[in-house]
Structure 1
Amino acid sequence: MARYVDGFVVPVSTVKLDAYRRLARKAGKIWKEHGALEYIECAADDVKPGKLTSFPQSVKLKDDETVVFSWIVFSSRKQRDAVNAKVMKDPRLADMMDPTAMPFDGKRMIWGGFKTLVEL
């Protein structure tokens, strides 16, 4: 069964990684409560700058930051759109949406929706 995935790459200050983790736990619970199948957040462990492109280069990573790679799984794009609409209206998320209070630089975040090609 093909699913739909929202993917994210974001630079997070290493001193704010615990704050990011708290935000991600809260956000993940909200997404799952509204119907997301999976919510995954990963901190870079073996991610090096490349010669032409890389995760660090994609977000213009600074020395005091780490890359976070995340994805949310849905049953379809239609279900993703419905879930995201509910999530964006959820008042529990409102306090997390203030750009000045976020533990990351949202201007350098990369995101998009993806159709799965292979699922094993």
Structure 2
Amino acid sequence: MAYADISIASVPDERRDAYRAFCEKAGSYILSLGALEVADYWGDDIPDGEVTSLPMAVKAAPGETVVASRILWPDKATRDAGWEKMMSGGGEGMGDMPFDGRRMIFGGFTELVTVSA
């Protein structure tokens, strides 16, 4: 059963190109660990909230944009093995994050329903 890692972060607007380069390098590296697909998204319609919101969740500052990433794995076992390799190597195949990783939120999800065209 498919497994996904989802993350949300906040990137300074002036680091958009650096973020794109990071995503390309990290994505290739993660695919080499067994992922099926890596997708990264630059937010352009992220509303502020009064009680909760994506910008609040990552403590986005003025001049920062909320970004989202999805890593699709064939199953949780492949994901766990991939993450173990990534962490044992210090993530060196990914390069330096052009954002404050302490404000990133992330988690792993078991596929429940997929509807496709």
TM-score past 0.5 threshold = yes
The number of residue pairs the alignment matches comes to 115
Q: Which letter maps to 1:112?
A: G
**Aligned mates of 2:104, 2:91 — CA distance in 1:** 22
Secondary structure at 1:69 match in 2: strand
Structure 1 unmatched runs, 5+: none
- 2:114 corresponds in structure 1 to 119
Which blocks of at least 5 consecutive residues in structure 2 are unaligned? Answer: none
Query: Percent of aligned pairs with the same residue?
Result: 40
SS at match of 2:92: helix
Q: Calculate the TM-score normalised by the size of structure 1.
A: 0.87
For residues 18-44 of structure 1, the C-alpha deviation after alignment (integer angstroms, 9 at most, x for no partner) is 101101100100111221011010010
Q: How far apart, in 2, do the equivalents of 1:94 and 1:40 lie?
A: 17
What amino acid maps onto 1:46 in structure 2? Answer: D
Does the alignment pair 1:88 with 2:87? yes
CA apart distance, 1:86? 2.4
Cα root mean square deviation, aligned: 1.8
Partner Cα separation in structure 1 for residue 36 and residue 64 of structure 2: 29
5 Å-filtered alignment, 1:1-120, equals 2-90=1-89, 93=92, 96-97=95-96, 102-120=97-115
Would you say the 8 A contact 2:40–2:68 is kept in 1? yes
